[in-house]
Chains A and B, each alone.
Chain A
Amino acid sequence: MEKNCAIPAGMRDWLPDEACLRRELINELLDGIALWGYEEIMTPVLEYYQVLTKVEDESGPDHLYKLIDRDGSILALRPEMTTPIARLAGGKLQGKPPWRLMYGAQVFRYENIQAGRQREFNQVGVELIGQKGPEADCEILALAIEALQGIGLANFTVSLGHMGVLRGLLESLPWQDQDLDKVRNLVLEKDFAGLLQFFEKAGLESKRREQLLGLLTQPLQAAEITQLMSGLPACLRTALAELQEVMNLLDNYGCSPYIQLDLSTLRSQAYYTGMVFEIYTSGIGYPIGGGGRYDKLLRHFGRDLPATGFALGVERLLLSLPKREKQRKSVVLFGDGSGASKSRIVEEAAALRQSGRAVIAELRGLANDEAAELTRAKNADIIRIAEVR
């Protein structure tokens, strides 16, 4: 294929209207999040490969775009923002935690192209670093929910789980590492049918099988947690108790109706340690955002601090939101091309811009129909004829 005008697979151009809508959405989200005291940070698109792969387990493909620096070191495009921010917080942030940070940034993943997600896509997210406990987790959840409400997303569900559920489940099984790895993979792949078969083959008694599978697949009400906890291994009980505290606090924000407790919610990134969540909306088969607690990531970068956060997929949000009108519309000013009309137009344009309008000032002389066409093409608001008197 002719490469002169092509772009690599998984990349996309943003044309004027689309680019404007994306910029407006990102700005709206960040403006809303800033009201919670979060400060924007930016990190480079390129990082050292070692930094980005610090905690991911080495098996399997890593989905990174890699390249070699001129000094021979391996670089990669960031696939998400949490690890770069952990690196930055580990070494560079001044003062004392907690830090409340936010970003709107492009990330890159070499994986199959999905709905609303190319290999380059945009995320808006936050990290609350240096705070443990349900208060911080609750703040993150409430902030995510209010950010989505703020941009006018009507129907969405936050499904809330805890990584401790998987850990507890594995700890409670008296098996070899090899079998536990199998179980972990089955759970992460959400192959509940396969999990049941594995349990049967391994000779787990039927009551226990049902209890464990039910935990992962049964819908759960907050009020049922206490009852559910009896008879579960300690690690699972801790996880459930943590979720319960978060749910109780969320009542204060009026966010509880958005939450669905669902213990099959598990994030694939290896750095998550505590509560995790994914956000779903109707019409899109993929989560539009997600996040959770990661208490062991920062220690890899020199500061042993707990942290929690979330990221929203900007492209998926653009698909989910009702069609938006561009907020900024321009005005076309034009005249007959005479010297006097030119100076009138410049003067008018300056005044209008001062008042916040976008102005296309056409100094060259235009006929009425030419001007009308230009206005239509730019979807501009008004035609002002700067007549010379």
Chain B
Amino acid sequence: MRNQLTIALPKGKLFQPSIAILAQAGLHTQGFSDSARTLVFEDKACNTKFIICRPTDIPTYVEHGAADLGIVGKDSIIEAGKNLYELLDLRFGFCRFVVAAPAKALDGEGKFPWKQGLRIATKFPAIAGEYLQKKGIQGEIIKLHGNVELAPRVNLSEVIVDIVSTGKTLKENDLVPLEEIGQASARLIVNRASYRLKAAAINNLVTNLKKALLEGGDQK
């Protein structure tokens, strides 16, 4: 029991690539699913337990040590502001944080008329707040939990800060990206106590994952 590892896996679009890279690193994750009722899987041969969680909750599970390790997007890590070790960039789930505004709000030269008191709708208040501060604009941040692209259409906000992977959603909603403020990809995070107490098992996994990443790189 003491040396069993618990890994938290994110539901949703990061799930399949997560179990794929873990399988490549030698774990028996074949057949795991994030749509089944089961939230706990076990790989007895490798003495590893897996729990399936909402991506935004993964930093919490790992910070408290309920899971030793987790795979989650950098975006969720930044917003959570937790005390964690980020050991590896797993190089999938790439996306960008962008500030976007409705196309019709741009002036004749295609520039956005920044003004004080502007409202930003976002799922990422910490990132949006930091951006406003850098820009020297006092604005109002409106925290939403999803479908942020709706906000400018119904006059809830002038701009949005959101995460974009292909840009399709923006286009469909007549939004244009104004600025990229950061990038994110999936990370391997570790609880700080587990990092010490289960050092051997964790280092072993990290080594195997690094190998898997290198092999994946060659194939491309």
Contact = CB atoms under 8 A, between A and B. Distances in A.
Interface of A: 114-115, 155, 157, 159, 189-194, 196-197, 217-219, 260, 262, 264, 278, 280-287
A285 B191 contact: yes
A283 B89 contact: no
Interface in B1-25: 2
27 contacts: A115-B64, A115-B65, A155-B197, A157-B196, A157-B197, A189-B86, A190-B83, A190-B84, A190-B85, A190-B192, A192-B87, A193-B88, A193-B89, A193-B187, A194-B89, A219-B200, A260-B199, A264-B85, A278-B196, A280-B196, A282-B193, A284-B193, A285-B63, A285-B191, A285-B194, A286-B65, A286-B192
B196 A260 contact: yes
B106 interface: no
A360 B65 CA distance: 43
A219 B65 CA distance: 20
A285 B87 contact: no
Contacts of A196: 89
B203 interface: yes
The number of chain B residues touching the other chain, given as a range, is: 20 to 34
A159 B64 contact: no
Interface of B: 2, 62-66, 83-89, 187-188, 191-197, 199-200, 203
Contacts of A219: 199-200, 203
A267 to B, nearest CB: 12
A192 B84 CA distance: 11
Instruction: List the 8 closest pairs (A to B, CB-CB), nearest first.
Output: A285-B65, A193-B89, A190-B85, A280-B193, A191-B86, A193-B86, A159-B196, A280-B196
Contacts of A190: 83-86, 192
A217 B195 CA distance: 10
A69 B203 CA distance: 52
Contacts, number: 69
Please classify the interface of chain B as helix (H, G, I), strand (E, B), loop, or mixed, using the class held by over half of its residues: mixed
A360 B193 CA distance: 45
A284 B195 CA distance: 12
A190 B194 CA distance: 14
Contacts of A262: 196
- Chain B CB within 10 Å — which of A218, A278, A286 has the most? A286
Nearest to B186: A193
Contacts of B86: 189-194
A197 B182 CA distance: 13
Contacts of A260: 196, 199
- Residue among B64, B83, B193 having the largest count of chain A Cβ atoms under 10 Å: B193
A115 B193 CA distance: 13
Contact of A282 (B85, B187, B197): B197
Contacts of B191: 285
Contacts of A193: 86-89, 187-188
Contacts of A192: 85-88
Contacts of A194: 86, 89
Contacts of A281: 193, 197
Contacts of B64: 114-115, 285
B77 to A, nearest CB: 8
A286 B85 contact: no
Nearest to A288: B193
Contacts of A157: 196-197
Contacts of B83: 190, 286
Given A190-B85, A278-B196, A280-B196, 10 more contacts: A190-B192, A218-B203, A260-B196, A280-B192, A282-B2, A282-B193, A285-B62, A285-B66, A285-B191, A286-B65
A197 B196 contact: no
Contacts of B187: 193
A287 B197 CA distance: 11
B202 to A, nearest CB: 10
Given A115-B65, A219-B199, A260-B199, A285 B85 contact: no
A195 to B, nearest CB: 9
Given A193-B187, A260-B196, A284 B65 contact: yes
Contacts of B62: 285
B89 A197 contact: yes
A94 B187 CA distance: 54
Nearest to A193: B89
A159 B198 CA distance: 12
A194 B189 CA distance: 12
B87 A286 contact: no
A163 B94 CA distance: 34
Contacts of A284: 65, 193
Contact of B192 (A115, A197, A218, A285): A285
Contacts of A189: 86
B196 to A, nearest CB: 5
Contacts of B195: 264
A217 B85 CA distance: 10
Contact of A287 (B87, B192, B203): B192
A192 B2 CA distance: 26
Contacts of A278: 192, 196
A285 B67 CA distance: 9
A260 B65 CA distance: 19
Contacts of A159: 196
Nearest to B1: A282
B85 A280 contact: no
A247 B140 CA distance: 54
A155 B196 CA distance: 12
